[in-house]
Amino acid sequence: MTEANQMVIVIDDDLSARTAIKRLVGAMGFSVKTFGSGQEFLYGELPEEPSCLILDVRMPGLSGLDVQRKMKERGVHIPIIFITGHGDVPMSVQAMKAGAVDFLIKPFRDQDLLDAIWQALERDRAARQRQAKMADLQRRHGSLTACERKVMTLVVSGLLNKQIAAELGVSEKTIKVHRSRVMQKMRAECLAELVRMAERLGINSPKD
C-alpha cells in the first residue's frame, strides 16, 4: 500500500497552521484533506481508505477533545494525533486516555509527526481488517437457519449431541446433521474454532 492511498485529515482553525501541515504531510507523500473546524469534518463524508486525523486541541466552537468525544458517540474510529500550541498535562492525559495516538506540541519535529502518522494509519488499517473479518463472520452467522443457530449456541456452550437432542426434543441424528451444517457454513475446522467465533460474535450460552 502506497502513501498516496492513505488519507491524512487535518483539522485546525488557524489557516497558516493548516496550510503548513497540509504542505508537510503532502510532501511526505500522503493524500491530505483539511477542515477549518470540527463541525465541518463531522458533517462531511467519512473517508473509505485507511486514514488518520491531525486535530488541533484549541479551537472555537468544538474543541479537539469535543471532536474526539463526538466521533466516539457516532462510532467513528479514525485514530487521532493531537497537536497544540500550548499543551497542559491534564489535557494530554485526557486525550491519550480517550485513545489518541499521540499528543504533539507545536512546533514539532517532522519525524515525530511522520512516526505518529504511520502508527495511526497502522492502527486504522488493523481496525479496518478486524472490522472486515467481523463483518464476514457476521455474514456467515447470518446464513444459518434458526434451528442451526440454536444448535450452534448449545454446541459452543459445551453440550453433547445427546443433551442437545433432549433439549430441543428431536433425535440425536438430526442434531448431528445440523451440527455438520453449522461447521460447514461457519467454515470452522474444529469445535475450538467455532467457540472462538461465537465469542467474537458475542453468543452466550443459554444457561448463563
Q: Classify 102 as helix, strand or coil.
A: strand
Out of 16, 48, 89, 190, the residue judged to bind other proteins by CB under 8 A: 16
Instruction: Count the site residues for other proteins by CB under 8 A.
Output: 30
Q: Are 106 and 80 in contact (CB under 8 A)?
A: no
Strand partners, 35: 11
Whether 165 contacts 183, CB under 8 Å: no
Helix (H, G, I), strand (E, B) or coil at 35: strand
Rounded to whole angstroms, how far apart are CA atoms 50 and 52? 7
Shortest spacing between CB 54 and other proteins, in angstroms: 10
Q: Which of 3, 49, 66, 115 binds other proteins (CB under 8 A)?
A: 66
Distance (Å, whole) CA 94 – CA 103: 10
Q: Tell me which DSSP letter residue 4 carries.
A: G
Task: Please list every residue from 100 through 159 that binds other proteins, using CB under 8 A.
Answer: 105-110
By CB under 8 A, which span of 8-16, 72-80, 145-153, 195-203 interacts with other proteins?
8-16
Question: Minimal distance in Å, beta carbon 104 to other proteins?
Answer: 9
* Residue 159 CA, distance from chain mean position: 34
- Interaction residues for other proteins, span 33-62 (CB under 8 A): 58-62
Nearest approach, Cβ of residue 68 and other proteins (Å):
14
User: Closest separation between CB of residue 29 and other proteins, Å?
Assistant: 9
Which three three-digit cell numbers place residue 151? 444448535
Interface contacts to other proteins, rule CB under 8 A: 13-14, 16-17, 19-21, 23-24, 26-28, 58-63, 66, 83-86, 88, 105-110
